Amino acid sequence: MKLYLMIKTHNVTGKKYLCKKQAETDVDAIKYTGSGLRWKPHLKEFGKNFTTEILFVCPIENKKEFKNIAVDYSYKLNILSDPNWMNMILEDGGGGSTSETNGSKGKKWIYKDEQRKSVCQNVLQEYLSNGWNLGFPEKFKKLISENRKGKPAHNKGKQLKLPHEYTSRIYKKKYNQKKYTREMRSLTSKECLNRPDVLLKFKQPRKPPITAKNVTTNEIKTLGRRQWHDVHQIDYRKLLKGYTSKGWKMVVVPGLEPGTSPL
């Protein structure tokens, strides 16, 4: 596996997008369309008609080197200030933007004719200037109202079920409460999570790691299932069934024989 730093340029609008992709070959990297919150809607509106320029390639183990080069290119190309670029954050080889950086907090519903969508604050003004309106169309409001007529509220009669020890008379007397407020439920939840037996369960792995051997290089690795899948792109389900996935095969150990699926 290798890390690719690429520029995607839309052939119709000329907009650009700096992105990274983890792939085995150049062909797989070029097929990647990009996952930016502004770039994806742009492709949906104007079509997936773009060209790809590969700037840098390195082994997946050199993540630190890749990050430094990606950040350097981000500043060099001025991807955050230049309006021709669709990036919303610096490209550093990480997992993408978060709610704090991509403006997804406080999304607003907008509509235009029969279309409606939820958009971020940083692109809201752009939509409003193109004829979109805030809120929901009256036709849609009527449909919601008619659909909900005669139906009880989704949370009617539902209450948070607390463990028996927190509903006992002793506990109620201690806090002098007959009904639990939101603050009380929060308090009891925190107390549950801080109990030693609960903390111990969180520390223990839910499923045992998998030991596999590369049939070509004879290299042996013991990794968790998420690591096999996310980092090495290996189908751990095939490994557990005794099959080979991308040159790796599970090493038979007691309790993890092929064909079994331990929980």
Map out the domains of the chain as residue ranges: 2-77, 104-148, 164-203, 210-250
* 123 close to 106: Cβ distance less than 8 angstroms: no
* 245 close to 235: Cβ distance less than 8 angstroms: yes
Angle at 216 between CA 213 and CA 220, to 5 degrees: 20
CA gap 221, 237 in Å, rounded: 16
CA gap 42, 46 in Å, rounded: 6
Tell me, what's the pLDDT at 143? 72
Mean pLDDT taken over the chain: 79
CA gap 259, 142 in Å, rounded: 55
Quickly state the pLDDT bin for 260 (edges 50, 70, 90).
Answer: very low
Q: Which two tokens stand for residue 67?
A: 């990050």
Share of the chain above pLDDT 70, in %: 77
pLDDT digits (tens, 9 = 90+) for 146-200: 777 777 776 666 555 555 555 555 555 555 555 667 777 788 778 877 888 777 7
pLDDT digits (tens, 9 = 90+) for 8-26: 999 999 999 999 999 989 9
pLDDT digits (tens, 9 = 90+) for 220-250: 988 888 888 888 888 888 888 888 988 999 9
Among 80-89, 171-180, 215-224, the least confident range = 171-180
CA gap 125, 122 in Å, rounded: 7
Among 48-52, 100-104, 184-188, the least confident range = 100-104
Write the CA distances from 57 to 22, 61, 185, 198, integer angstroms.
Answer: 10, 12, 51, 44
53 torsion bin: left (phi>0), alpha (psi -120 to 50), beta (else): beta
Neighbours of 10 (CB within 10 A): 20
